Amino acid sequence: MGGFIVFAIPASFLIHKTGITYSLRIASLLVIVGSLMKIIKVRSPSFLLVSQAIMSFSQAIILSMATVTVARWFPIRERGMAVGIVSACQYIALAFDMVFSPFLMSGGSFPRLIAIYSAISSGFAIIGALLIKENPPTPSSLIEPADESYLKASLTIGRINSLRGMITVFSVTWGVLMVMLVKIDFIAAELNLGSTAWFALALILSGAIGAFILPAISDAIKKRKVLFVGCLGLSLPGMLLLFFSKNRGMSYAGAVIFGFFAFSAIPIGLQYAAELGFPNPEEIVQSHMVFFSQGLGALILLLTMSGSIWEFRHLLSFFIALLLGCFIGSTFLDESKMIITEDERLDKEINREIVQNE
């Protein structure tokens, strides 16, 4: 989280100045370098910390370029779906990590764990660097972001009321999700589930499924706000099931409901924010989302670090209060003015031309 706070703004500046192709290739190189460093001195905590800092810079670049890449390659009517696919793939990778790491660590083989994950990371980094292209053969949209300086666009973002509210709501929601994942062993133990892996799988894979489905629905019905608000509101019953859980069935049901809606709110929120911030460049809007999300996530984590104060139900009560506040706050946001199809825009222009000619 600290790495994101430090690198989110520089990462978006790099994307803004060099484009998505060079930015991803730089990020891929950093992934490979960081992975090799981990393998070389796997037993050195200080060396691992430096390599992790390098990896965090690469991750900040990759996460900051999601919406701008989607905007280059997809029309507006498909962008929610595309960002959802990106998020779902992240969730699937996270689930893989949380489920298979204990098996890879069997016998205390930490170097083997690092070597396998470093090889996987480097392999995907090379594939991404080779496949990335700056622009499609033909433009994906009739409208383009404003060609403004990085500083001017950053200042403009701060003056958009709904976007400021969106960043706040999104950041608190993201913070709750991150702390849930950090404390997943503690939560699973308090629910007497025995295995953290199955609880993590229920939570995260349901989120991946939701991230495939709900952003695509927001494209189909041409609404961002109703889906985002709905996801926040419907995640609360899942958290309440965890709070009042009496058996494993209730616990897993709560994890599935909460994961499906809470994790789905992330890709919808990212695309929603990009549209609220238009015509400012998507990478600058997303960097603000990442920066404040990780900052609030780190703050929430620090507030909940003390086990003597935060008992299980106190922790869940805190999460429920935060999510309820996010749900209420999100109802005051404006709907996206961009979420109409290119065909509708073209029809309006044709009708306007007909009226003028008459």
Burial label for 40, CB within 10 Å (0-12, 13-18, 19+), is exposed
The DSSP 8-state label assigned to residue 143 in this structure reads -
Domain that holds residue 93: 2-133+150-333
Residue 345 has pLDDT above 80, yes or no: no
84 within some domain: yes
For residue 74, give the nearest of 271, 251, 234 by alpha carbon.
Answer: 271
Question: Is 143 inside any structural domain?
Answer: no
Q: What is the pLDDT of residues 237-252, one digit of tens each?
A: 999 999 898 888 999 9
Name the CA radius of gyration of the chain, rounded: 21
pLDDT tens for 175-203 read 889 888 888 888 888 888 877 888 888 99
Number of domains in the chain: 1
pLDDT of residue 30 exceeding 80 = yes
Whichever domain contains 299, its CATH number is 1.20.1250.20
142 part of a folded domain: no
CA–CA gap between residue 140 and residue 297 (Å, rounded): 34
How far apart are the C-alpha atoms of 232 and 255, rounded to whole Å?
A: 14
Which range in 45-49, 83-87, 345-349 is most confidently predicted, on average pLDDT?
A: 83-87
When pLDDT is cut at 50, 70 and 90, the band that residue 22 belongs to is: very high
Kindly report the average pLDDT of the chain as a whole number.
85
Residue 136's pLDDT band (cuts 50, 70, 90): confident
pTM for this prediction: 0.86
CA proximity to 269, closest of 325, 224, 332: 224
Question: What pLDDT, in 10s, does the model give residues 285-326?
Answer: 888 888 888 888 888 888 877 655 567 788 889 899 999 999
The answer as to whether 141 is a domain residue is no
Q: Is residue 144 part of a domain?
A: no
Q: Is residue 80 part of a domain?
A: yes
- What local confidence, expressed as pLDDT, does residue 142 receive? 66
Tokens of 45: 């905590």
- Residue 357, domain member (yes or no): no
CB-based contact 73:141 (threshold 8 Å) = no
Tokens of 125: 């980094």
CA dihedral over 282, 287, 290, 292, signed as positive or negative:
negative
Structure tokens at 65: 């370029």
Q: Is residue 348 part of a domain?
A: no
